[in-house]
Amino acid sequence: MDLKEFIQQALVQVAEGLTSAQAPIQNLGGMLNPSLSGNHEDLGKHGLLLAFHSTVSVITFDIALTANTGQGTKGGIGVIVGAVSLGSTGESKTESSTVSRIKFAVPMMLPPPQKA
C-alpha cells in the first residue's frame, strides 16, 4: 500500500466509522460530533478548529515509512502502522532497510449528527 492510498483509506474510514456509529449512539441518548460553541482559543485547547461556522477536527498522522533493498530482490516501500507493515517488501539474504517518519495533521469537518 502506498502512502497516498493509506491516507485516503484512513480518512474515509474515519468518516464512515463515525457515520455508522451515529444511530447507535443516538439510541443510547448521546450525540456524536455535536455543534460546539466557543472561541478559537477554547476549541484549540481540545484539538479543534472553527471554520465556516462549523467545528473542524484535526486528524493527526504519525507514519513510519520503510524502504527495503536487498540482493536478488526488487526491493520495495511500505507504510508501517504500529506493529503491522503494509506494503511491498523483498526477501533476500542481504537486505538493507531505511525507516523514515512523517508527521502531519489534516483538518477535517466530520459528518454532522443525523436528525432523529
| Averaged pLDDT score across all residues of the chain | 77
Q: Tell me the per-residue pLDDT of 93-112, one tens digit each, with 9 for 90 and over.
A: 567 788 889 999 998 888 87
What 68-74 contacts at long range (C-beta under 8 Å, 24+ apart), as own/partner pairs, is: 68/95, 68/96, 68/97, 68/98, 69/95, 69/96, 69/97, 70/94, 70/95, 70/96, 71/95
pTM as predicted: 0.64
